[in-house]
Amino acid sequence: MSAGIDVYSLDALRARGVRLASAQGANAIAVAEHAMGLTLALSRMIHTARDNQARKHWRGMISDPLAREDELAGKTMLIVGLGGIGGRLARFARAFDMRVVGLKRDTSARVENVDALVGPADLDRALGEADVVALTCPLTPETEGLINAARLKAMKPTAHLINCARGKVVDEDALIAALQAGSIAAAGLDVTREEPLPEASPLWSMENVLITPHTGGETAAYERRVVDLLVDNIGRLSRGEPLVNGIV
């Protein structure tokens, strides 16, 4: 029971006549909140404050304005993946007075809480204009490695990358290099290429990285929403109706 389907062999399921539906949408609220939480935490340096707390360190005033915590109001968030999660994240970002840009194949469609839509051909330009790049897309052949070295280089050096999609959407080696070089300012990662993240990964010890262990959708409400969806689909299957989120 998950939103992602990349772990299943769809051809094998079809060959055996097995029906498959995803739990897409069941964790939309939770993951969108998590993505917004990572965005806020990096902007306000909450993770640094927590580290200071562990050391019982009360930091003084920062004289350099550019080194201080930042505000989200007036900033631009680029959302890659405007499904249930991305759509709700757009709503949250707008509530913080952010400008929201969404990546979508059909740029003629109207999407609520999105100020502008860009197509895949304009992704590099949109990356260069974004203060926060939030990944909420599924892992597909088209999105695997989507955020590569060239696209990380296209981002602002002050930009933050939020990944609540799948780890393989990002070239992790290129991300580490970009963070170490200061090509981008920070990353909030709920997913990584390999999970659990290996102990040897440089990401663990980077001060400009905030890691959560793929827990974005892990809330008390998740199972209830999945069960409701499952019961609905069992009824649909018995009546010969199309499944909600039907895949096979």
**From 99, 151, 166, 225, active-site residue:** 166
**From 44, 193, 214, 236, active-site residue:** 214
Which tokens is 184 given? 């981008």
Buried b (16+ CB within 10 A) or exposed e, 35-63: bbbbbebbbebebbeeeeeeeeeeeeeee
Among 83, 81, 119, 114, which residue's Cα sits nearest to residue 99?
114
**From 195, 207, 223, 241, active-site residue:** 195
Q: Catalytic residue at 214?
A: yes
Q: Are 97 and 72 in contact (CB under 8 A)?
A: yes
Give Cα 163 to chain centroid, integer Å. Answer: 4
Q: Catalytic residue at 224?
A: no
Q: Catalytic residue at 47?
A: no
Sign for the CA dihedral angle at 212, 213, 216, 219 comes to negative
The residues near 1 (Cβ < 8 Å, ≥ 6 apart) are 23, 26, 226, 230
Provide the annotated active-site residues: 166, 195, 214
